[in-house]
Structure 1
């Protein structure tokens, strides 16, 4: 019998097509893995920014209401009393409003950082363990932490820009370099928030630790960091609180760019280095803790 001339070639063609599809799928999977490894932190940041949309009203109210209320109450209200008694150049050679506004900018950034680096971190590790699910993909724990930092930077910059615009509206920024206060406030928020994030990443059960951080760390630092009055006016046995506070170091830098506060050059270097010394090790420690917690 004579074999059909095309019948023997069919299995070969089908096999070739199947092999081609498999190769395409493997290449696509390899491409996706490479993208995840390269851009994993940005995927996590996108996820966090999308989550922020669920409480966007709170974010907007805080971004607009905080500078409006604080600048009006502390700068205009209390500032009027101070100026009435001590003159228009009452504190550090400027009005009280111009003196306190850069400090309020940095304090607002720290408040934002304390919100984003505490409960959302606890949520991702424990309450709704999205970090565990993300780490099951090619995205590493370190990239999860990096993504958190990126998302917080976005919110810090946005909030600080709004605050700076209100400072402009109230006439609290006489210097043309005052816009640099946005970058300074962002760095202050990271310097405060990164060590907090590393600590929260170690918490297995929240028994009030985060609330105590807000009450016994954030509040005293705000009051004793030269925010509402010069640090030098405090008793010497309390000034050390300000020296250790990132809020004081950032406030001093913000006052330099806002109205030209007189600070020795060496102290400017100390302020900048101190903020980075808090931020970078805290960030790296958080990455290490996340890796240990998610991979064990």
Structure 2
């Protein structure tokens, strides 16, 4: 079993659910409290021991690369003004030289295609896949919890959560096998089944640990739903050759690709901060009373 060192972040999406906000600003750079969404996801990966951060980008996404770059003028200005606390925080978030890679998804052909675009950088290693729309609130983070299971079982890990049984048609749903350590054997996956046809109400929440054999399957994967190359289709083919395990995530997940989830995330993360909780709580009560 190889150590998990690399993580892939597919950040090429257009963010159409957030227009006009995302016309010029990538959806991954929208801020939850005082950090871009993508920073939360990268921090989660770093906590889990990830050493190499691979971003699959698209047009108008250069600001993401700038965000994770060294900014001499800003750092120098903060130092001269004695803003040592914020300077230390910024430096702590910045990956070390050589820890980031950026590759371009030149056509919007789906999540499976975006993952395939990272094949040369990942190489013959297992890798984590984190969908940047989804940010998690838990201690430890979702990926760290998954890595603990990976180190006991190896192979492929998919994080899941429970959804309303009447809303299974919105998600990729897994078939649960027997319990294994802190997870369970994953014996199947169904894309957006009707409630009456769903095997469970456990949905895939946007965190994966995958073996490199997925790339050769993706390379020959035919287009599926939405005329796109679907990751789930390739995972089903890989499941025929390798074990998959599910991990039932313990924490909160916010879909920051939707306005509703984005607002929820801002409230939840603000309330989790001691320096903001009272102010936000008082303001919410004031607004609710009007």
Q: What TM-score does the superposition give when structure 2 sets the normalisation length?
A: 0.26
Task: Give the structure with the larger helix fraction.
Answer: 1
Q: Which has the larger radius of gyration?
A: 1
Q: What TM-score does the superposition give when structure 1 sets the normalisation length?
A: 0.26
Task: Give the structure with the larger strand fraction.
Answer: 2
